[in-house]
Amino acid sequence: MPDDIHAFIGRDAFAKFIGVELLDVGEGRAQAQMAIGPHHLNGMGRVHGAAIFGLADLAFAAACNSHGPVAMAINVSINYIKGVTEGVLHADAYPVSVNPRLGTYTVNVTDDAGDIVAVFQGLAYRRREKRGGEPQEER
Amino acid sequence: MPDDIHAFIGRDAFAKFIGVELLDVGEGRAQAQMAIGPHHLNGMGRVHGAAIFGLADLAFAAACNSHGPVAMAINVSINYIKGVTEGVLHADAYPVSVNPRLGTYTVNVTDDAGDIVAVFQGLAYRRREKRGGEPQEER
Amino acid sequence: MPDDIHAFIGRDAFAKFIGVELLDVGEGRAQAQMAIGPHHLNGMGRVHGAAIFGLADLAFAAACNSHGPVAMAINVSINYIKGVTEGVLHADAYPVSVNPRLGTYTVNVTDDAGDIVAVFQGLAYRRREKRGGEPQEER
Amino acid sequence: MPDDIHAFIGRDAFAKFIGVELLDVGEGRAQAQMAIGPHHLNGMGRVHGAAIFGLADLAFAAACNSHGPVAMAINVSINYIKGVTEGVLHADAYPVSVNPRLGTYTVNVTDDAGDIVAVFQGLAYRRREKRGGEPQEER
């Protein structure tokens, strides 16, 4: 499973493109990080909300796919708490509730001082086939 | 104002990096688009939820900053409706409710067939100074 | 259909208990209202967020069940914009996106002055059987 | 503080009306419960989403006001996981992130079997005066 999920995340072109790195994953949890660069900033010189979302989303995807069946996000709610301009951002994803069809995860994004930057809550729908099987198109 | 907001969005390095283009903005509304490329895909070969978020977020930022004062996202909730793999994604942001301190906007993301891909609801906090003024740090 | 949905909503004991009244429903839209009484207030003497939610939720339920199959809420995100203490609250629900399995609706709650009090975004999962059929338990 | 917050919650007419009981509160956490009665059901004979929201919201309000300054909800996102028809529902609220202006809390709602029924994420804005002071109207 760990190899499988690392391979799955390794094919995530967008996460790679924006510079998100998966650190650890297993049993519904995942940690990731992103070193802030100039391409992550918004028009006010702060890290873009969508870049923070991208980091958190990768940790969420790794966490909710670590259980086996293919999981797809159906809703995310994100609260932005603190603006940041530099350093490394850290994401820690953990399960709040997982049943056979729906899983809810929280991802905390923190800065180098350990302050919370954003709180991400993701709801994933878990399909019945395994990764690698032919996905039945539902959406 | 239109020039001002175009300049503001023009400094948005992350939106440029991921390939989001602002088409039109004014009076609380904004349209943007993103031509899907291989760097937008996730491990399943579909457009990444975070890339869709990035497109919607740019339209939201343009719409809520088109009124004047600096607005910052404090919460976003996004529902993912349909998976996509190619073509151009379109975002249309419009105001649902705007008062002096808080603004709520909906952004619909559609594909080339006109189908809804995602629905984004953003809540922005509007600070009292104008863009270009010295921001008082609140968060 | 209109009779069917009125009967369905008529069996909604909680909506009746808190004083929500369905005004109109059809084609994915619904309007409801709630006359504010002392039992709706919170510890600060304002209408309770959960009472506002209850009003909006009834309009959402009516709207998303007006299409036929049984729809169940899987996520709601609500933004509270303005506090209120008296009068009548009005809810207007309309569809943002509806496909065979998922529907997203926005509900605007306004006060007697027409000001937005809250914006509610609901995501419903639409089951395949019709109302009155034996529900297959999925959750 | 515990007395203060109990008095504050004791004035919550809506929570009392729908039958929510505060069990414990302190240091950003709170527990509450609600014994399911016929007035809590929806048109399908299950506990109404708005009743579940009401229980969770009381625990959230107690938790986020346990720190001192008056806190008001600005956004809530709730995921519904499991339908229930009888017994007692339990809510456990805990802080995810609290800074001087914004606090994010998660509330888990469980049934008598210990299964998660709903996950509630609330964002509160903390005003600068203490409870009992004259509130400056911002919304």
Mind listing the pLDDT tens digit for each residue in A84-134? 999 999 999 999 988 888 899 999 999 999 999 999 999 998 876 544 433
pLDDT of amino acid B100: 83
Helix (H) or strand (E) holding C90: strand C88-98
Q: Do C44 and D77 touch (CB under 8 A)?
A: no
CA B107, CA B118: separation in Å to the nearest integer?
8
Pick from B2, D76, B50: nearest CA to A48: B50
pLDDT of amino acid A135: 37
Query: Per-residue confidence at C71, pLDDT binned at 50, 70, 90?
Result: confident
* CB-CB contact of D131 with D122 (8 Å): no
Is the minimum CB–CB distance between D108 and chain A shorter than 8 Å? Answer: yes
Query: Per-residue confidence at C128, pLDDT binned at 50, 70, 90?
Result: low
Where residue C68 falls (left for φ over 0; alpha for ψ -120 to 50; beta otherwise) is: left
> Mean pLDDT score of chain C, rounded to an integer?
88
Residue C81 has pLDDT above 70, yes or no: yes
Superfamily of domain A2-129: Hotdog Thioesterase (3.10.129.10)
Q: Give mean pLDDT, residues D8-21.
A: 94
pLDDT of amino acid B2: 56
Is the minimum CB–CB distance between C74 and chain A shorter than 8 Å? Answer: yes
Helix and strand counts by DSSP (H, E) for chain C: 3, 6
Per-residue pLDDT tens listing for chain B (139 residues): 456 888 888 899 999 999 999 999 998 999 999 999 999 999 999 999 999 999 999 999 999 998 877 889 999 999 999 999 999 999 999 999 888 888 999 999 999 999 999 999 999 988 765 444 333 333 3
CA C73, CA C126: separation in Å to the nearest integer?
9
CA distance C78 to chain D (A): 5
* CB-CB contact of C40 with D14 (8 Å): yes
pLDDT of amino acid C137: 37
* CB-CB contact of C17 with D38 (8 Å): no
Residue C53 has pLDDT above 70, yes or no: yes
Is the minimum CB–CB distance between D80 and chain B shorter than 8 Å? Answer: no
Higher local confidence (pLDDT), D34 or B7:
D34
Best residue in C102, C104, C105, C128 for a mutation probing chain A (most A CBs within 10 Å): C102
Query: Per-residue confidence at C97, pLDDT binned at 50, 70, 90?
Result: confident
Residues 6+ apart with CB under 8 A from C54: C14, C15, C18, C20, C34, D48, D50, D53, D54
pLDDT of amino acid D108: 96
Residue C35 has pLDDT above 60, yes or no: yes
pLDDT of amino acid B134: 38
CA C37, CA C73: separation in Å to the nearest integer?
27
Query: Per-residue confidence at C2, pLDDT binned at 50, 70, 90?
Result: low
Query: Per-residue confidence at D102, pLDDT binned at 50, 70, 90?
Result: confident
Residues 6+ apart with CB under 8 A from A65: A5, A8, A9, A71, A131
Pick from D98, B64, D139: nearest CA to C117: D139
pLDDT of amino acid B89: 98
Q: What does R_g of chain D's alpha carbons equal in angstroms?
A: 15
Superfamily of domain B2-130: Hotdog Thioesterase (3.10.129.10)
CA A95, CA A60: separation in Å to the nearest integer?
9
Q: How many CA atoms lie within 13 A of D33 on its CB side?
A: 10
Query: Per-residue confidence at D24, pLDDT binned at 50, 70, 90?
Result: very high
Q: Do A77 and C74 touch (CB under 8 A)?
A: no
Q: How far is CA A54 from CA A126, B129, C6, C27, D128, in A?
A: 21, 29, 43, 37, 33
For residue B76, which residues of chain A lie inside 8 Å, CB to CB? Answer: 49, 53, 76-78
Q: Do A80 and B61 touch (CB under 8 A)?
A: no
Query: Per-residue confidence at C6, pLDDT binned at 50, 70, 90?
Result: confident
- Tokens matching residue B102: 């808080």
CA A40, CA C25: separation in Å to the nearest integer?
46
Helix (H) or strand (E) holding D138: none
Measured at the alpha carbon of residue C17, what is the angle toward residues C16 and C20, in degrees to the nearest 5?
Answer: 45
| Model confidence, pTM | 0.87
CA distance D87 to chain B (A): 32
Q: Would you list the domain boundaries of chain C?
A: 2-129
Residue C52 has pLDDT above 90, yes or no: yes
pLDDT in tens, A29-78: 999 999 999 999 999 999 999 999 999 999 999 999 988 778 889 999 99
Sheet holding A69-80, edge to edge: A20-26, A29-35, A88-98, A102-110, A116-130, A69-80, B69-80, B116-130, B102-110, B88-98, B29-35, B20-26
- Which phi and psi angles does C25 have, rounded to 5°? -155, 145
- Residues facing residue D89 across a β-bridge: D34
ipTM of the complex: 0.90
Burial (Cβ within 10 Å: 0-12, 13-18, ≥19) of residue C113: exposed
Query: What number of other Cβ atoms are within 10 A of residue C64's Cβ?
Result: 26
* CB-CB contact of B57 with B123 (8 Å): no
Query: Per-residue confidence at A2, pLDDT binned at 50, 70, 90?
Result: low
Helix (H) or strand (E) holding A71: strand A69-80
Residue A6 has pLDDT above 70, yes or no: yes
Query: What number of other Cβ atoms are within 10 A of residue A12's Cβ?
Result: 21
Where residue C111 falls (left for φ over 0; alpha for ψ -120 to 50; beta otherwise) is: beta
The answer for B 119-138 residues in CB contact with A (under 8 A) is: 135
